[in-house]
Amino acid sequence: MSNKELIQVMDPEGRVDEAAVRGISEAEMMKMYRLMVFTRLWNTKALSLQRQGRMGTIASVRGQEAANIGMGLALGANDWFCPSFRETGTLFARGVPPENMLLYWGGDERGARPLEGSRNLPVCITVGSHVLHAAGIAFGAKISGERVAVLSSSGDGSTSQGDFHEGLNFAAVFKLPLVVAIQNNHWAISVPIWKQTATETLAEKALAHGVAGARVDGNDVLAVYLTVKRLLEEARSDYKPALVELVTYRMDDHTTADDASRYRTEEMVAPWRAKDPIDRMRAYLTKEHGWDEQKDADLVSECTAEVEQAVRSYEAVTPPEPADLFDHMYAEEPWNLREQREEMLRSLGGSGR
């Protein structure tokens, strides 16, 4: 099908193409829903902590839960994931502890250390760069003969960066097991998608590089899951790289440092409230899978408790030692850092460690 066609299996009222979702078990659907609910609660809590000065500048994922979670659950356990900075839900789906995410956004590098065995890259702030890292990981896997796929995720703005195009070209020329996902949330801070590119869609940028392209309703968690899963399978088994556009919307300010009212109106945002990914999935589960208000209330309080627990662990973490800032610069510390570390410790009166 053409790159421009929008893939959707669940409409905003929660009506689903049952044939399309037959492959998804009820348990998997519940997992999707639960992760979306959890992510939104975590996100809301983190934003309020930020307002109270208990958290640093943070990028909200509200409205993008379906895109986040659909990607996360589509990935295989051995697949690699290369995020930018608006994939909190994907990282939760990939097993990153919620307190670690709080620690990182709270301004403590230690929160960014992946768990043992993890194949998630740390958050990449520089827009676009990590598409190339994903291509290189995919290349490494192909050279080693390991049949895994790599998923890179970035925003609509990243499609303007040279690295995005260089990465897609490498993926196409070397037939790498790479899927590049673009969360098109319509905004790059204040710059709307129509000022970012002159193309109708982002998926069609695949044509410039000869990779497969797909365009999905990013607020339809089932469509995101199914499409990304299929593309990852094709990448894994046929070395077929792809670009997939997840059409969604940034419901909050760009970050807590931003004020979107300076550049966009409520009229622009309103239509997207009706397309909320969580309401949509809830409506479907209620219609088709015996979900009800009581169960929903229980789920919410369950997740809320988990979030509160994560906040307590986050705030219980002992602050880093000053001299920790010298750690992890090299595998082996050279003389300049050793001397500077000692200089700091002397100035701290031998404190630190």
Partner 1 sequence: MARLSMIEAINAALHERMAADERVVVLGEDVGVDGGVFRATVGLFDKFGEMRVIDTPLAESGIVGTAIGMAIYGMRPVAEIQFEGFMFKAFDQVYSHASRIRHRSQGYFGVPLVIRAPYGAGVRALEHHSDAPEALFAHLPGMKVVIPATPADAKGLLTSAIEDPDTVIFLEPKRLYRLFKEEVPEGEYRVPLGKARLAREGTDVTLVTYGGMVPVCEKAAQHVASEGVDAEVVDLRTVWPFDVDAIEQSVNKTGRLVIVHEAPRSLGVGAEIAATVGERCLLSLLAPIKRVTGYDVIPPLAKLEDHNYPSSDRVVRAIHETMEF
Ligand X SMILES: Cc1ncc(C[n+]2csc(CCOP(=O)(O)OP(=O)(O)O)c2C)c(N)n1
Which active-site residues does the annotation give? 250, 254, 263
Q: Residue 317's closest CA among 115, 122, 54, 118?
A: 54
C-beta of 25: minimal distance to partner 1 in Å? 32
Our finding on whether 121 is near partner 1 (CB under 8 A) is yes
Dist. CA 294–CA 145, nearest whole Å: 49
Number of residues that bind a copy of itself (CB under 8 A): 23
C-beta of 314: minimal distance to Mg ion in Å? 27
Q: Which of 12, 155, 167, 213 binds ligand X (CB under 6 A)?
A: 155
Closest-approach residue to ligand X (CB): 155
Q: Which of 11, 28, 108, 166 binds a copy of itself (CB under 8 A)?
A: 166
Q: Residue 4's closest CA among 247, 275, 249?
A: 247
Our finding on whether 185 is near ligand X (CB under 6 A) is yes
Our finding on whether 336 is near partner 1 (CB under 8 A) is yes
Q: Which of 40, 86, 215, 275 binds ligand X (CB under 6 A)?
A: 86
- Using the CB atoms, write b or e for 330-342: b if 16+ within 10 Å: eeeeeeeeeeebe
Our finding on whether 257 is near ligand X (CB under 6 A) is no
Q: Which of 258, 277, 284, 311 binds partner 1 (CB under 8 A)?
A: 258
Dist. CA 345–CA 299, nearest whole Å: 49
SS3 245: strand
Residues within window 227-256 making contact with ligand X, judged by CB under 6 A: 250, 254
Q: Residue 104's closest CA among 80, 117, 129, 121?
A: 121
Our finding on whether 131 is near ligand X (CB under 6 A) is no
Contact letters for partner 1, residues 64-93 (x by CB under 8 A): ----------------x----x--------
Residues within window 185-224 making contact with partner 1, judged by CB under 8 A: 188-191, 195-197
Number of residues that bind partner 1 (CB under 8 A): 77
Residues within window 224-263 making contact with Mg ion, judged by CB under 5 A: none
Q: Residue 152's closest CA among 227, 207, 81?
A: 81
Task: Please give the backbone phi and psi of residue 145, each rounded to the nearest 5 degrees, phi first.
Answer: 75, 15
Q: Quick one: tokens of 101?
A: 């995410």
Q: What's CA 123's distance to the chain center, in Å?
A: 9
Ramachandran area for residue 210 (φ above 0: left; ψ -120 to 50: alpha; else beta): left
Our finding on whether 315 is near partner 1 (CB under 8 A) is no
Look at the block and give the residue holding tokens 């893939």.
7
Task: Please give the backbone phi and psi of residue 165, each rounded to the nearest 5 degrees, phi first.
Answer: -70, -40
C-beta of 26: minimal distance to partner 1 in Å? 36
Residues within window 113-172 making contact with Mg ion, judged by CB under 5 A: 155-156
Nearer to a copy of itself, 34 or 165 (CB): 165
Q: Residue 101's closest CA among 53, 51, 48, 42?
A: 42
Taking the alpha carbons of 127, 129, 130, 131 in that order, is the dihedral positive or negative? positive
Q: Which of 188, 214, 223, 278 binds ligand X (CB under 6 A)?
A: 188
Our finding on whether 291 is near ligand X (CB under 6 A) is no
C-beta of 208: minimal distance to a copy of itself in Å? 3
For residues 137 and 150, the answer to whether their CB atoms sit within 8 Å is: yes
Binding site for a copy of itself (CB under 8 A): 160-163, 165-166, 169, 172-173, 195-200, 204-211
Binding site for ligand X (CB under 6 A): 86, 125-127, 154-158, 183, 185, 187-189, 250, 254
